[in-house]
Amino acid sequence: AVITIPPTLAVYKEPDTGMTMLYMAMIIPMLFFSGIQKKMLIIFAAIPVSIMSVVVILYVKFNDFFTETVLSKLSGHQISRIYGWLQPYEYPDSSFQTRQGFLAIGSGEFTGKGYLQNNVYVVEKHTDFIFANIAEEIGFLGASFVIALLFFLIYRIVLVTVEAKDLFMTLMGAGIASLLAFQITQNIGMTIGLLPVTGMTLPFLSYGGSSLLSNFMLMGIVMIIYKSYSGYMFKAEE
């Protein structure tokens, strides 16, 4: 926590909430697999769960207090995204991207409109909302296939991590698997309206050189973990 919190706070101040969430998604499973005492994990888990429970209760039961006290602590664009997520049709300006994503995904139906046959306007759909473009062009079948491929990637990383002989490599693998899983869930979730928009890319699919390079570096670390216990295809007898 001492090592992680300072850079996390610095990134949050930028502000970049999405990257802060990614840091937490990577560090928490590493703490879990590090052998830390279970009672410490319960304490760590109880804090965010309690905070989220209070926020939900305030939003449902004391909406005016929630708006004036809780939301006022956030920046303008964060408030806009929260309202656009919770009430997309009451705040059309804040939820424009989300609603267009709905329309694009729904219009693709089961088999899609065909490659490059998208006609629903989605702002910057080649970056954060690439999944809406995929669902529009190749439909439910194609989008499901993409999700299955991403799931298989995480599954393979988990298998590699489980076989690692070194605790440090196990922790790296757990962090990478969790990081990618959270990123995929958040990106697709915000595209279909289940989660708020955070500007998080879809690994290996969204346009962006830094994102692609970072993800390939993570895959390189996974391959190093795999080599640490698998050995080589050809070995010389001693």
Measured torsion, CA atoms of residues 226, 227, 230, 236, in degrees rounded to the nearest 10: 170
Q: Residue 210 to residues 50, 87, 109, 153, 231: CA-CA distances in angstroms?
A: 35, 33, 32, 20, 31
Secondary element (H or E) of residue 208: none
Looking at residue 25, its pLDDT comes to 83
- pLDDT exceeds cutoff 60 at 43: yes
Using CA atoms, how far apart are residues 157 and 134, in angstroms rounded to an integer? 24
Looking at per-residue pLDDT, the higher value among 63 and 7 belongs to: 7
Report pLDDT digits (tens) over 146-167. Answer: 999 999 999 999 988 888 878 8
| Residues listed for the chain | 238
Looking at residue 41, its pLDDT comes to 76
Using CA atoms, how far apart are residues 80 and 13, in angstroms rounded to an integer? 18
Report pLDDT digits (tens) over 172-205. Answer: 898 999 999 999 998 888 888 788 777 788 888 8
Looking at residue 112, its pLDDT comes to 81
Boundaries of every domain in the chain: 96-230
Report pLDDT digits (tens) over 75-127. Answer: 666 667 776 777 777 766 677 777 888 888 888 888 888 887 778 777 777 88
- CA neighbor of 228 nearest in space, from 151, 173, 154: 173
Which residue do the tokens 């926590």 mark? 1
Looking at residue 231, its pLDDT comes to 55
Residue 205 is given by DSSP the state T
- What is the band of 219 on the pLDDT scale with cuts at 50, 70, 90? very high
Q: Are the C-beta atoms of residues 157 and 98 closer than 8 Å to each other? A: no
